[in-house]
Structure 1
Amino acid sequence: MAISLYDISVASSLQVLGGVAGALDKGAAHCTENGIDLAEVAGTRLVPDMWSFRDQIYSVMHHSLGSIKGVESGAFSPPELDPEMDYAACQALIASAIEMLGGYTREQVNAWEDNDVLFSLGRFELPFKAPEFVLSFSHPNLYFHATTAYDMLRMKGTPIGKMDFMGPLRTAG
């Protein structure tokens, strides 16, 4: 069975983004109904030395839409986080990422299969081929940040479960 770069990058990212978008909507509804301040949620951290909820959401975007942009350009580096991003901006960011990723075609992305991608953090660099970049670097980060954001919403009492996290499944037929 052959699987394409589009399937492992765009299609998989859209599934994760769909789950995150749904969880964000349920989180907003839960917080509004229960008098939980959405500004407080945006700044929530699981532990003091971990990134905030808003940073987790930004990283979900960065390791989905930003990942495919990195595959296209050949360069990827850590995101520049927005410490002022509120909950509504988190929702808008994910909605925008879904819309922009949806604009990439299967043919366009698959043409980048042999692209080199260089991850840079200061003087530290990691060279990849596009599929390995997506599978071994970007996807683990994408799932980590999506899971952490999900966990923060659960910590606030949002009634979400595994099916919410999984997003829109790609089923046969």
Structure 2
Amino acid sequence: MAISLYDATVGTYRQILGATANVLEKGRAHCEANGISLDDVVQMQLIDDMLPFQFQVVSVAHHSLGALKGVEGGVFTPPSPAGEDYAALQDLVAQAREGLDAYTPDQVNGFEDKSLEFRLGSNAIPFQGGRFLLGFSLPNFYFHATTTYDMLRMKGTPIGKRDFMNLM
């Protein structure tokens, strides 16, 4: 069975962005019901040398819609940490979900051999679009979505694997 670049990326982005939206909403409801500050959640870290919850959620959007935009434009850079509040993070995920609608299968499948650079500071790493999306950005997307889930679970949000999978 052959799978297209579009199906492997956009299909996955839709599934996990939907899951992220759901766990963010369950996290908000749990925090509000239990007197947990959403501002504290936005700034929490799993460990001191790890970027905060806010960055994890921003990275979910950045490694989905942002990755497609990066391939399209020929340059991808890491997201900048910002001071968004919880509601803004939810909006960002919703915008990423909606933004995927702008990409057609033919367009994304055409990204496979498109050249781009991942720029990190003064370093520029060359990629082909397919390799970038499947080998770099998609693993990062899963990492940050999983970390978002884990951090909300750590705060006691009643979520489980079904919430992360977003299939049932």
Shorter-chain TM-score bucket reads over 0.9
TM superposition score normalised by structure 1: 0.92
> In the alignment, which residue of structure 2 is the partner of 1:93?
92
Q: Cα offset for 1:66?
A: 0.6
Residues 111 and 130 in structure 2, CA contact (< 8 A), matched pair in contact too? no
Q: Cα offset for 1:89?
A: 0.6
Q: Cα offset for 1:166?
A: 1.4
Q: How does 1:45-60 map to 2 (within 5 A)?
A: 45-60=45-60
Any gaps of 5 or more consecutive residues in structure 2? Answer: none
Q: How does 1:42-81 map to 2 (within 5 A)?
A: 42-81=42-81
Deviations 1:46-78 (A, max 9, x none): 111111111100011110111111111121111
Q: Cα offset for 1:167?
A: 2.2
- Give percent identity, aligned residues only: 55
User: Partners in 2 of 1:99 and 1:168 — Cα distance?
Assistant: 19
> In the alignment, which residue of structure 1 is the partner of 2:2?
2
> In the alignment, which residue of structure 2 is the partner of 1:110?
109
User: Partners in 2 of 1:117 and 1:70 — Cα distance?
Assistant: 8
TM superposition score normalised by structure 2: 0.95
- Are 2:35 and 1:35 aligned? yes
User: Partners in 2 of 1:40 and 1:160 — Cα distance?
Assistant: 19
Give the aligned CA root-mean-square deviation in angstroms: 1.3
User: Partners in 2 of 1:49 and 1:165 — Cα distance?
Assistant: 25
Residues 17 and 60 in structure 2, CA contact (< 8 A), matched pair in contact too? yes
Alignment length (residue pairs): 168
Residues 59 and 142 in structure 1, CA contact (< 8 A), matched pair in contact too? yes
Any gaps of 5 or more consecutive residues in structure 1? Answer: none
